Amino acid sequence: MKMNLTQKIIYNHLDDEQKKIFLEKNGKVEEIDIKIDQTLTHDITAVMAYNAFEALELDRVKTEKSISYIDHNVLCTDHRTSDDHLFLKTVAQKYGVYYSTPGNGICHSVHIARFAIPGKTLLGADSHTASSGAVGMFAFGGGGVEVARAMAGLRIKLNMPKIIKVNLIGKLNGGVNTKDIALELLKKYSVKGGVGKVFEYTGEGLKHLEIPQRMTITNMGAEMGATTSIFPTDEITKEFFKAQNRLEDFIEFVADEGATYDDEITIDMSKIIPLVACPSQPDNIADVNDEKFKDLKVSSVFIGSCTNASYGDIKKAAEILKGEKVSEDVELTIGVSTRAIFLQLLEEGIIAELVKSGARITEIACGACDGIGGAPVSKGVTVRTSNRNFKGRSGTVDAQIYLVSPEVAAATAITGRLTVANNVISDIEKLNNILEPTEYVVDDSEIIKPLNLEEAKKIQIIRGDNIKPLPLNTKVPNELTIKVSLKTKDNISTDDITPNDANFSAMRSNIPEISKYAFSRIYPDFVTRAKEYGKSVIIGGENYGQGSSREHAAIAPMYLGVKAVIVKSIARIHKKNLINHGVVPMTFKNPDDYDKIEISDELSWNNMDEALEKGIITIKDNTKNFTFEALIELSEEEKEIIKAGGLLPFIKKIFKEA
């Protein structure tokens, strides 16, 4: 069988029995069950993942490499953050996990530089884990408990994705960034058009794209809901590994000649123009030069995040800002993605140029990307190079977030209006001459290596008062009468469910505390109602649970008694997280039924066990006196997980039986 990249990695990570079936069916299988080589977590999702791992009572992680990054909330405004870091450090030492210290960099940016390996699998407790696809990894996001499962050496099940070949031809013009390709794809596919798909890049245009540029594209595949995105390896990949002083990890990894795909598109990069994602969805795309932005006054600009804070990105922004001053109406915040890149830019004098222009350099972390520092003024317009512009994502609930490339962000910081780079520098093509270094600064001293088993056994895990045990669910009752505690609009993001700014992220795994704020920004009555009802159900619109992989968004409602969500459609990772915590995800068979149901309606079912098997349930709305059907689309294993009350009890059962 001629295989594309995705099929190759999947095939290589199946067991022998599944390999046979995969070949027999020419790759057209429904479900795959793959071995995971590497995992990653970050400080927001990690506490959950390691709490779950501890509950499995194993000595050590069973993956080739697992890495715990501290990058999201590194602001120690009280003891909680420091206590949580110490917990994560000791738990890493105990279980054979690498620990990347606060200040070492954003997980995906450090991972691709120091750990990613072509042809391997990576499961990360973060939706942008797909970033490492830029060097030919099959890298995808999941919930913390799923990562615990992978760390325990158990396989991960996925629906076999559809594989879309994206042919890149031509070359980007100066001042245009691969961010604009990502935004162009969002325009075409929307925030849910990538669900169940892998975007596999190829084409003669690749010879013009360096690895961090490719990573911007794989990173933002997450915004389309894609399972992942992947590039083949080539001479540029090899140069990247050489520059990172780990050539030994490079392999040639390309699709077979004649491999087939489920669909194919071509993007001529020379035709891509600077684009902007307008508030408050990443697929609300416009041309930066559009007349409608003429009078839009910008109050803050952020250049940073795992999407667009590479060496090349920051250097291009610095080239635009060189000799200029940031507009006095604008606050410019810059966060470099890794400590190594920061050191490199420092040595080259780039950081000094940025500071002279008036930029404020923040900590080497996610920071402003998820509202931890750099929050804009109330009702302000903020222009950002990050990947999400949901309401509240900047840390200011009523700010308007526009997503752009670093080139547009830098030009905008100077003018105070959305501006393309060629309006502020004369020789725009010189931006294309800014290349990645042939030798990166390499310094792994802030990555603490795992201890050997004997030393590890002596480690005491230190738990601060913010570390709370993972709440567990019970099996959903076969017969139940419950009330609707919430009815949401379309495109509810996990940020809407459990907010994520400096205040909230400091709570980390403290679900009793986090749950007090569930949906608080948009539906402030929800918590009171859910508590009053005890057990309840949420009604949702399209693309429910899009965005971050944050598991808290499934656990907090579960903790408040939510037994099921019935929605028009649901985002992949959030659906998985609900299942993993025993909450039944259902979709309306007839989406028009959504309109008939209201908050406080009483719903009942009397055959959940049978419905889980059949994949469909009849529910009666006792208040409105009508019945409707909802689909429960679960794999065989997911049914078992729901019946066990969640993934953790399910895994425990597997270990007990083994």
Positions that interact with ligand F3S (CB under 6 A)? 72, 106-108, 126, 128, 305-306, 366, 369-370, 386-387
Cβ nearer to ligand F3S, comparing 13 with 574:
574
How large is the angle between the packed helices 79-95 and 43-55, nearest 10 degrees? 50
Q: How far is the CB of 265 from ligand F3S (least distance, A)?
A: 25
Cβ nearer to ligand F3S, comparing 108 with 575:
108
Q: How far is the CB of 77 from ligand F3S (least distance, A)?
A: 18
Looking at residue 126, the DSSP 8-state letter turns out to be S
Cβ nearer to ligand F3S, comparing 74 with 583:
74
3-state secondary structure of 554: helix
Cβ nearer to ligand F3S, comparing 309 with 424:
309
Q: How far is the CB of 240 from ligand F3S (least distance, A)?
A: 20
Provide the pairing of β-strand 626-631 with 616-621: antiparallel
Looking at residue 458, the DSSP 8-state letter turns out to be T
Cβ nearer to ligand F3S, comparing 284 with 386:
386
- Give the separation between CA 108 and CA 539, rounded to whole angstroms: 34
Q: Is 257 exposed, middle or buried (0-12, 13-18, 19+ CB in 10 A)?
A: exposed
Looking at residue 524, the DSSP 8-state letter turns out to be T
How large is the angle between the packed helices 647-657 and 144-151, nearest 10 degrees? 20
- Give the separation between CA 237 and CA 136, rounded to whole angstroms: 9
Cβ nearer to ligand F3S, comparing 419 with 500:
500
Cβ nearer to ligand F3S, comparing 237 with 387:
387
User: Cβ distance 308 to 405 under 8 Å?
Assistant: yes
Q: How far is the CB of 483 from ligand F3S (least distance, A)?
A: 35
Cβ nearer to ligand F3S, comparing 103 with 561:
103
Cβ nearer to ligand F3S, comparing 205 with 373:
373
Cβ nearer to ligand F3S, comparing 218 with 473:
218
Tokens of 254: 């390309």
Query: Could you tell me if residue 379 is left (phi over 0), alpha (psi between -120 and 50 degrees) or otherwise beta?
Result: left
Which residue is closest to ligand F3S by CB?
A: 366
Report how far apart, in Å, the C-alpha atoms of 548 and of each of 128, 223, 497 are: 8, 9, 11
- Give the separation between CA 205 and CA 320, rounded to whole angstroms: 25
Please state the length of the chain.
Answer: 658
Q: How far is the CB of 268 from ligand F3S (least distance, A)?
A: 28
Q: How far is the CB of 613 from ligand F3S (least distance, A)?
A: 38
Q: How far is the CB of 557 from ligand F3S (least distance, A)?
A: 22
Tokens of 511: 């679900």
Cβ nearer to ligand F3S, comparing 370 with 621:
370
Tokens of 177: 């960034």
Q: How far is the CB of 546 from ligand F3S (least distance, A)?
A: 14
Q: How far is the CB of 110 from ligand F3S (least distance, A)?
A: 10
Cβ nearer to ligand F3S, comparing 106 with 514:
106
Peptide bond into 280 cis (omega under 30): yes
Count Cα atoms within 13 angstroms, Cβ side, for 56: 31
For CA atoms 498, 504, 508, 511, the dihedral sign is: negative
How many of the other CB atoms lie within 10 Å of CB of 588?
Answer: 21
Q: φ and ψ at 651, to 5 degrees?
A: -65, -40
Cβ nearer to ligand F3S, comparing 93 with 129:
129
Q: How far is the CB of 366 from ligand F3S (least distance, A)?
A: 3
Q: Which residue has the tokens 């002083």?
A: 245
Q: How far is the CB of 399 from ligand F3S (least distance, A)?
A: 16
SS (H, E, C) 563-610: EEEEECCECHHHHHHHHHCCCEEEEECCCCHHHHCCCCCEEEECCHHH
Report how far apart, in Å, the C-alpha atoms of 415 and of each of 296, 381, 382 are: 11, 14, 13
- Give the separation between CA 364 and CA 443, rounded to whole angstroms: 15
| Alpha helices per DSSP H over 322-391 | 339-347, 350-357
Q: How far is the CB of 141 from ligand F3S (least distance, A)?
A: 10
Q: How far is the CB of 72 from ligand F3S (least distance, A)?
A: 6
Question: Which amino acid would we find at residue 91?
Answer: V
